[in-house]
Amino acid sequence: MKVLVSEIEIQAAVSRVAAEIKVQEAGGPLTVIAIMTGSIVFLADLIRKLDMPLRVGVIQTSSYRDGEQRGRLVVNLDMMPDIAGRDVLLVDDIFDTGNTLFEVLNMLDEFQPASVRSAVLMHKIGRQEVSLKPDYVGFEIPDKFVVGYGLDYNDLYRNLPYIGVLEPHDLAEHSK
């Protein structure tokens, strides 16, 4: 597997995003909602760098079945705290087509937050299907299938401390 983004580069991006959030949010309080499961590592590192009053919750989304097959977006809001009248930061691992972030942001509006901003670790260039842009981006990556630092392929690789690119033979090996 080829390393696309090293552990050191990831931590620098997380620190930069946290600094941008602190400036924009002017000390909080802030409700951080993570889109599970891929963003959990990013969430953990990010909130440790935000020295402001925080509430944390998660929602679970799924749109992939059997590896890369994109299906209908399913959203579970059972673990989301009350966000009415609160400033919210929605955290996701990767902005690919943008459909997940777009749909979740629209859902969150129904709960009447004071504001909603979004932070993503990675913005995959060339795949966007929506006009939305995340408010905070760790770094841009090429249109490659990436794993590590929370992202998986068939529930593997989430624990890697770096972002790697799966080669075609890697994908074939794990699709059996």
Q: Which residues participate in catalysis according to the annotation?
A: 96
| Both tokens assigned to 39 | 């963003």
| Cα–Cα distance, 144 to 125 (Å, whole number) | 9
Give the pairing type, strands 2-5 and 163-165: antiparallel
| Both tokens assigned to 12 | 């620098």
Distances (CA, A) of 85 to 39, 57, 110: 24, 16, 11
- What is the DSSP code (8-state) at residue 174? H
